[in-house]
């Protein structure tokens, strides 16, 4: 009888280990894959105006900014393209508020854009204005 208990114990432990390994493998294959999307805004930094942003919850997303001058070299007053790359960090939702203003002025922004952002459990981003 003692031999049967050891065998049963071995079988149970092996089965439990197999279940845990299968569970971990399924979690790894459906893991979080941080998606990236871009928001593009036109502006004219040569006039002092620029886009400034605020993230309501920066644990959900991160943002990288790139500004590309669109005018001819040395041309004052030509537009630029502000590209914001939004990267998912964790599932949840947040809001990004962009304000087009001169940083030294106290008056309200010339333009404001608000984007709702949601990230699902897989890391997919949905951005809507």
Percentage of the chain modeled with pLDDT above 70: 77
Distant-in-sequence, close-in-space partners of 85: CB < 8 Å, separation ≥ 6:
36, 37, 38, 63, 64, 65, 66
Q: Which two tokens stand for residue 98?
A: 């962009």
Amino acid 23: pLDDT? 44
Amino acid 10: pLDDT? 53
Give the residue from 103, 97, 100, 96 showing the smallest Cα distance to 119.
96
Amino acid 20: pLDDT? 44
pLDDT digits (tens, 9 = 90+) for 16-53: 545 445 444 444 556 899 999 999 999 998 889 999 99
Distant-in-sequence, close-in-space partners of 79: CB < 8 Å, separation ≥ 6:
42, 43, 44, 70, 71
- Distance, in Å, from the CA atom of 60 to the CA atom of 52, rounded to the nearest integer, reads 19
- The whole-model pTM stands at 0.74
| Secondary element (H or E) of residue 1 | none
What residue ranges of the chain have pLDDT lower than 70? 1-30
Going from the C-alpha of 121 to that of each of 27, 52, 125, the distances in angstroms are 12, 29, 10
Contact 63, 95 (CB under 8 A): no
């Amino acid at each position: 009888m003692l031999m049967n208990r050891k065998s049963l114990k071995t079988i149970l432990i092996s089965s439990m280990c197999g279940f845990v390994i299968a569970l971990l493998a399924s979690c790894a294959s459906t893991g979080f894959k941080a998606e990236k999307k871009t928001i593009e805004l036109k502006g004219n930094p040569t006039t002092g105006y620029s886009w400034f942003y605020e993230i309501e919850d920066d644990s959900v997303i991160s943002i990288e900014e790139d500004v590309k001058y669109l005018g001819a070299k040395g041309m004052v007053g030509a537009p630029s393209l502000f590209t914001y790359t939004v990267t998912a960090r964790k599932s949840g939702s947040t809001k990004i508020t962009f304000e087009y203003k001169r940083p030294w002025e106290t008056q309200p922004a010339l333009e404001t854009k608000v984007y709702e952002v949601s990230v699902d459990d897989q890391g997919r981003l949905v951005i809507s204005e």
